[in-house]
Structure 1
Amino acid sequence: MNVRFPARSARPSRQRGVVTLEFAFMLMLGVLPLLFLTYTGVMMMAVQQTLATASAEGARASLRFGTAQQRRVGACQAAQRSMQWLLAYAGQTPDCSNGGSAPILVSQPTPCVGMADAHCIQVSVSYDYGAHPFLPGTGRLYGWAMDRPIRSIAVAQLDLGSN
């Protein structure tokens, strides 16, 4: 007995695995780049938030009483504590003994802008994403948008009457 199958029944067997290939291509070309961009965006926001907190903590620490040099050192140390995870990742150890070194810079007390009789200290912190990207290759990829380090600055008005 000779049994013949219709020509249509042969088609589904040729289609086996096509859905798997389509899913793999969709994953590689659609979902993974989306996850990649989301991850780097979240990490950049975390860096910016960390820098904003570090500069604010440094400025707040400069308000403690002491000499101008003690205030600068205290501000640098407070900023360093607040951004410790970034410094560890980048392998940087700023020297706070003289008021800071890159990536934490604390200015000398200077007259505040618009108020010549008051003095202010400026705390500036930064992170160079191009030199220390979280995902390899993204420093160059985002170089067009981030040609400078990510930075945050905070200013504190000092009460110098208690020196």
Structure 2
Amino acid sequence: MQNPIPVPEQIGTVDLASWTVIPGQSNPNKDDHGAWAVTAGDVEQYDLYFEVADAARPRQVAEFIVEAVQAHATRLRLGAAFADVERKREGLRTKPPGADLYEGDRSRVVAMMAQLGKLAAEAYEPAPAAERDAQRQRVYDGVTEVAALAVCWLEAHHAQYGIDGG
């Protein structure tokens, strides 16, 4: 039997889209005031399963839990992605000497699109099993750099045309 109390690691490792609310095992008639379960993972054998029973509205409590976990995990993941882009952006601002990384001219856009094409080609072709982690990291690093360059160009636009982007 699985531990009925979820641990924080389960939130990060189970696909957020798989989190759902189902009638609890003791609630086959789907009574709103009967037990409702929060599940996540593979439908055949859930990675996470716990029931909400001792509440005035168990189904609403379970739905709230799912929505809250999904929102929280999304914020954490988005924050981590933005932090990676910001670190890369700071690195780009320090090199190369004399380069205007805030310049948003057409050549930079063309270069960014070419880099995206290379990344797409690498991501499309599956690497051998032994190289998948390294490939995934290269693609992530490349996308992070493209995102950092795009942020620099957006900053240049705001510097030239004002904060409202007009």
From the CA coordinates, give the structure whose radius of gyration is larger: 1
When normalised by structure 2's length, the TM-score is: 0.33
When normalised by structure 1's length, the TM-score is: 0.34
- Relative to its length, the structure with more strand (as a share) is 1
Structure number with greater CO (CA < 8 Å, separation at least 6) is 1
